[in-house]
Structure 1
Amino acid sequence: MPRIAGQIDERKSEAILDAAMSLFAEKGAAASMEQIAKQAGVSKQTLYNRYASKVDIGRALAERRSDAITAPLRSGGEPVEVLTGFAASLLNKLCGPDGRGDMRGVALMSPSAPDLAEAVYHAGPGESLRRLSAWLEEQDRLGRLRIPDPVHAAEMFTGMVMGHGHLRGILGIANPIPDVPSRARETAERFIRAFAP
């Protein structure tokens, strides 16, 4: 059955993003649009219809990851449960093999494609931090936590969650995957004790 004009096949978009993620991790900014199209099994025209440049692809990849990591912030639960979920999501996305490769890919491309690295940061980690800051600000407003500087507190929380795991991942150093549920819960509980009203 032919598609309706303007209808987008989301499977092709996902195939493009998956191919780009794999190639960026392997080759950094040297990955070409042609290679991405070939690995995704789509024509170059299909690729360019969806993403005009590698910057657009990088932004879309980062947005997809940020949406997944910050999903717990939209759950409406108790602060300890929300922060535990956020921490577990962050650890699972960034400390697993795929996450380490993705971070290494961004690090590889940063010197040769600073516009791409900046787009990835702002749409991904920067957006996740902004969402966490907004959530913390709301918890302060509701009197659940006392957060005088939500931006600083958001950076502090993500740093507590990640430790040096992200750095080892970027450098390709063996990185034992933590006991995610325990680490996430402990970090959330310690953070909440520090910012209790």
Structure 2
Amino acid sequence: MARVTGQIDERKSEAILDAAAELFAEKGAAVSMDAIARRAGVSKQTLYNRYGSKVEIGRALAERRSDLITAPLRTGGDPVMVLTALAEAMLAKLCTADGRSSMRGVALMSPHAPGLAEAVYSAGPGEGRRRLALWLAEQDRLGLIRVPDPHGAAEMFVGMTLGHSQLRAILGVDEPRPIDIPARARETAQRFLRAFAV
């Protein structure tokens, strides 16, 4: 069946992003667009039609991850429940083998491809922090918490949530003991909100 003009097969786009994530984790920025196309099982033309460069692929990967992690901020509801869900999403992404290898892949590519690293940061962690800051500002406006500096508070929440787990992931060092993700997420959200209580 012929494709309608302008129609995009989302499965191919996802295959490209999945292949790129694997290869970035394995080889860093040195991976070629040809290798990404081969791993994804698509033609080079298909790859370039969707993503014109590794920077665009990196940005799309980071956007996809950021959308998944920050989904709780779009649900509404009690602040402790929202922040607990956000912390769980952050920890779940970081504590998986894929999440850990993704962090190492970005760290490996940063010195050799600063444009790619900047795109990944801006569309991923930077965008997540911006969304959290907007959510915190809205909670302040509603009088639920008092947050004079939403951007600083957002960075603080991320730091409280990830702690040294993020550094261990980048370095490939195992956690000293398994993380109880729900308990850690709940405690982080509760302590954070106490610091900004009205």
- Scaled by the length of structure 1, what TM-score is found? 0.99
SS of the equivalent of 1:112 reads coil
Distance 1:177 1:119, change over 3 A: farther
SS of the equivalent of 1:163 reads helix
Question: In the alignment, which residue of structure 2 is the partner of 1:6?
Answer: 6
Answer with 144-153 or 168-177: which moved more.
Answer: 168-177
Question: In the alignment, which residue of structure 1 is the partner of 2:101?
Answer: 101
> How do 1:70-89 residues align onto structure 2 when only pairs under 5 Å count?
70-89=70-89
**Separation in 2 of the partners of 1:14 and 1:67?**
14
Question: In the alignment, which residue of structure 2 is the partner of 1:192?
Answer: 193
SS of the equivalent of 2:7 reads coil
SS of the equivalent of 2:70 reads helix
Instruction: State the identity %.
Output: 72
Would you say 1:42 and 2:60 are equivalent positions?
no
- Scaled by the length of structure 2, what TM-score is found? 0.98
Aligned length: 197
Question: In the alignment, which residue of structure 2 is the partner of 1:179?
Answer: 180
Question: In the alignment, which residue of structure 1 is the partner of 2:115?
Answer: 115
Would you say 1:148 and 2:157 are equivalent positions?
no
Q: 5+ residue gaps in structure 2? A: none
What per-residue deviation string (whole Å, max 9, x for no partner) do you get for residues 61-82 of structure 1? 0000000000000001100000
Offset of residue 96 of structure 1: 1.3
- Kept in 2, the 8 Å contact 1:100–1:169? The answer is yes
**Separation in 1 of the partners of 2:45 and 2:84?**
43
Offset of residue 178 of structure 1: 1.1
Give the CA RMSD over aligned residues: 0.7
What per-residue deviation string (whole Å, max 9, x for no partner) do you get for residues 99-122 of structure 1? 110010000000110000000000
Q: 5+ residue gaps in structure 1? A: none
Question: In the alignment, which residue of structure 2 is the partner of 1:30?
Answer: 30
SS of the equivalent of 1:173 reads coil
Offset of residue 95 of structure 1: 2.0
Moved over 4 A (4+): none
Answer with 115-124 or 174-183: which moved more.
Answer: 174-183
